[in-house]
């Protein structure tokens, strides 16, 4: 199928520019399609707004903003908190969603909070809150969300530049975190075709969260042996390959 419309929704405290080279690779793979990077309230072009403290309000805002610019149906590729939003969008407005690619996400109904946000990562995250150098802050974040060992200095500099121009406040990070932590799915599988992707090297969200979702919903799950939480940063080629196989 050609001429699809893709929405790309990232997770906590991240914006459309954080897709990095992955978006360009996706556009190259599907040159006839249209792609839109969605910024959550409190991030990206909306960084001066206050992030809602519940997921449904977040969904309502981004849906309203999106429908002003582009018409459904949409194919959504999403990560972490963004996947929770995408899931809820499909359930409330299934006629607007063509399909879902959900990466490294979790649902409170199926996984305890200490799997959804691994406790061993809190110490690192506290270092991020007390650090002052922008590049050092991004390096700490990358050590949490990525399993990459090369090129991190340059990536940290690029992300520090993003934060410089469109800063995400600590207040909005905490508000988004609350919205993610309190989200409870109704337990029903999404009413649209869905693919789950996860990385065994995810240090932030235990891969078992995706495994549980796959079992409960009886939908396909593809697992990368080493990739971390930010799958599209660590293994963009692998992600595109799995999506392409699923779309056939």
Domains of the chain: 5-247 (3.40.50.1820)
pLDDT, residue 115, reads 66
The per-residue DSSP string of 59-81 comes to HHHHHHHHHTT-PSPEEEEEETH
Task: Report residue 192: phi and psi, to 5°.
Answer: -130, 160
The pLDDT, as a whole number, for residue 128 is 66
What local confidence, expressed as pLDDT, does residue 5 receive?
A: 97
pLDDT value of position 112: 61
Looking at the chain, list the stretches that DSSP marks H as alpha helix, in order from N- to C-terminal side: 21-29, 55-67, 81-92, 113-116, 120-130, 134-145, 152-165, 170-181, 208-217, 231-234, 236-247
Range 14-30 average pLDDT: 96
User: pLDDT at position 118, please?
Assistant: 67
Mean pLDDT of 218-234: 96
Structure confidence by residue, pLDDT tens digits, 162-176:
999 999 998 999 999
Helix axes 152-165, 134-145, angle to 10 degrees: 120
Q: List, as one string, the DSSP characters of 126-143.
A: HHHHH---HHHHHHHHHH
The average pLDDT across 12-36 equals: 96
**Crossing angle between the packed helical segments 236-247 and 21-29, to the nearest 10 degrees:** 30
Q: What is the pLDDT of residue 119?
A: 64
Q: How far apart are CA 202 and CA 217, in angstroms?
A: 22
- Per mean pLDDT, which of 27-41, 124-138, 199-213 is the most reliable? 27-41
Do you find a cis peptide bond into 73, omega within 30 degrees of 0?
yes
Rounded Cα–Cα distance for residues 170 and 127 (Å)? 13
Contact 143, 233 (CB under 8 A): no
State the pLDDT confidence band at 181, using cuts at 50, 70 and 90: confident
Per-residue pLDDT, averaged over 4-23, amounts to 96
For 41-70, what is each residue's pLDDT tens digit?
999 999 999 999 999 999 999 999 999 999
Secondary structure, 3-state, 98-118: EEEEEECCCCCCCCCHHHHCC
Q: What was the pLDDT predicted at 132?
A: 79
Using pLDDT thresholds of 50, 70 and 90, give the confidence band for residue 209.
confident
pLDDT of residue 107: 80
Mean pLDDT of the chain: 91
pLDDT tens, residue by residue, 79-106: 999 999 999 999 999 999 999 999 999 8
**In the predicted model, is pLDDT for residue 217 greater than 80?**
yes
Q: Which of 31-35, 122-126, 143-147, 187-191 has the highest mean pLDDT?
A: 31-35
Do 225 and 238 contact (CB within 8 A), yes or no?
A: no
Does position 246 have pLDDT exceeding 70, yes or no? yes
Q: Indicate the SS3 state at residue 158.
A: helix
């Amino acid at each position: 199928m050609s001429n699809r419309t893709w929405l790309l929704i990232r997770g906590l405290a991240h914006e459309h520019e954080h897709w990095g080279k992955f978006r360009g690779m996706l556009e190259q793979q599907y040159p006839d399609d249209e792609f839109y990077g969605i910024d959550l309230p409190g991030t990206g072009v909306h960084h001066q707004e206050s992030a809602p403290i519940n997921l449904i309000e977040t969904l309502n805002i981004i849906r309203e903003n999106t429908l002003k610019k582009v018409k459904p149906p949409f194919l959504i590729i999403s990560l972490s908190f963004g996947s929770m939003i995408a899931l809820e969008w499909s359930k409330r407005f299934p006629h607007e969603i063509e399909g879902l690619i959900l990466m490294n996400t979790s649902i409170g109904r199926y996984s305890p909070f200490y799997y959804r946000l691994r406790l061993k990562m809190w110490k690192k995250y506290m270092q991020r809150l007390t650090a002052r150098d922008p590049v050092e802050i991004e390096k700490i974040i990358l050590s949490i969300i990525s399993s990459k060992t090369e090129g991190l200095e340059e990536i940290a500099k690029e992300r520090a530049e993003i934060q410089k121009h469109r800063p995400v406040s600590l207040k909005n990070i905490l508000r988004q975190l609350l919205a993610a932590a309190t989200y409870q799915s109704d337990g029903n599988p999404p009413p649209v075709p869905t693919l789950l992707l996860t990385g065994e090297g995810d240090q932030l969200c235990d891969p078992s969260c995706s495994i549980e979702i796959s079992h409960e919903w009886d939908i396909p799950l593809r697992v990368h042996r080493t990739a971390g939480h930010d799958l599209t940063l660590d293994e963009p080629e692998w992600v595109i390959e799995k999506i392409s196989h699923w779309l056939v």
